[in-house]
A and B are shown apart, each in its own frame.
Chain A
Amino acid sequence: MRCPMEAREGAELVLAYCSRRLDPDKSEWFERHLAACVSCQETVAAQKQVWEALDYWDALPIPRDFDRRLEWRIEAEERKPWSQRLTGLRLTGWLRPAIPIASMAALALAVFLVRTPDPPDTDFQARTETTEVEQAERALEDLEMIRQFTLPPREANARNPI
C-alpha cells in the first residue's frame, strides 16, 4: 500500500482524519494503512496533539448586556437623520479623507457656477434670425399660391393663354 504522505494530498488526508471529516470508507482505508506506516502514525499523533491542545482554549462567556447594547446602538442609529448617518460612516485607509475632500470639491464647484456670468449666446441669435427669414419666405410663397387659386377665371385665362 502506497503511503499517502508521499503525495500532495497526504497532509490533507491526515488533517481530515484527525478532525473527523474523512468519509467512513476513506477513514477505514487510512486506518489500515496507519497500522503499518510509522511515518503516518507520527504525523497523526502530532496532529492529534495539536487538536487536543487547541481544545484547552475554551469559549468566553457571552456578556449579559451584549444584546441590550446592540439594541441601543441600533435605536440610536435609527434616530439619527440621514446626514448624520452619512457622516458617521467609518471609512478606513485611503477612503478616510474622502468625505471632506468631496465636500470641498462640491462647494468649490457650486461657487464657480454661481460666480461665473453666462456668456452671450450669439449662436442663438443667429439661429433665430435665420428661422425668422425662412418663416417669412414660406409665408409669402403661401400667400402667392392662395392668390393664384382665388383669381377670377378671366384674369387667370389672360395670364395663362392656351
Chain B
Amino acid sequence: MSLSPFSAKPSAGERVNKDMVAVLALERDAELMLRVREGDSLSFSLLLEKHRGPVIHFLYRMVLNQAIAEELAQEVFLRVYRSRATYEPTAKFTTWLFRIATHLALNSIRDGRNEKLQESLDREVVDGPVRQVATGEPNVEQLLVRQARLLEVRQAIESLPAKQRAAVLMHKYDEMEYSQIAGVLNCSESAVKSLLFRAYEALRARLAHMA
C-alpha cells in the first residue's frame, strides 16, 4: 500500500499563489455583480459563463435528473439577476450563489418534484457522459465496468440525507472550505464537519468493495 495517496503535493509557495488567485477571483466576482447592479449586462454574462457549469453539475448531482437540474440552474441565475438591485457584497459571491442553488435543490427534493420526471438510473448511466480512456477508445468491457461503478457511486450519493449530500458535493467537487459550506448551509463549521464525517463514513461503508 502506498502511504502517500497523492504523489505531487503543493508547496507553501504554490498554496500562497493559489490563495491569492482565489482571493482575486472572489473580489472579481463581487465587482462584476456590482457592475450588474449598475446595469452592465456584459458583467452578468461573464458571471454566467464562469459559474453556470459548477451550478448545473451541483444541481444535477443533488436532484439526479438532468432536465430538473437545468431548470433549477436557470432559476438560480434568474434569481441572481432579479436580486441585482439589492446585492451587497457581504458574503462571497459563490457562497451566495450556492446558497440559492442549495435552497432550490432541497425544496425540489422535499417536494418530490424530481420523482415525476425521475429517469431510470440505469438509463441515465447508459446515456450519461462517458470518460474517454486517454490511451484510446474504451472497449465494451471497460465501458460496462465503468457504468456499473458510476451507478454504485450515484446510488451511494443518493442514499445520503439531502444536507449531507450537499455538503459532500460542495466539499468534493467544488473544493469549498468548511467555512464556505457552513455559509451555504447556514450552519456552524463544526456542524459541517459533523455532516461530512457522517457522510464519508456512510460512503466508505457503501463503496468499500470498489477497490
Contacts and interface: CB of A to CB of B under 8 A. Distances in A.
A11 interface: yes
Interface string B56-82: 110011000010011001100110011
Nearest to B73: A66
Given A12-B193, A62-B56, A46 B208 contact: yes
Interface string A82-111: 000000000010000000000000000000
Q: Chain A interface: which size bin?
A: 35 or more
Contact of A49 (B4, B69, B204): B204
A51 B200 CA distance: 9
Nearest to B149: A56
Contacts, number: 112
B5 interface: yes
A20 interface: yes
A70 interface: yes
Contacts of B77: 70
Contact of A44 (B5, B78, B196): B5
A152 interface: no
Contacts of B1: 41, 45
A122 to B, nearest CB: 50
Contacts of A59: 53, 57, 129, 173
Interface string B112-126: 000000000000000
Nearest to A48: B5
A3 interface: no
B153 interface: yes
A24 to B, nearest CB: 6
12 contacts: A18-B5, A24-B12, A35-B3, A49-B211, A53-B152, A53-B153, A59-B57, A60-B66, A60-B128, A62-B53, A66-B70, A70-B78
* Cβ-closest 3 pairs across A and B: A48-B5, A59-B57, A58-B129
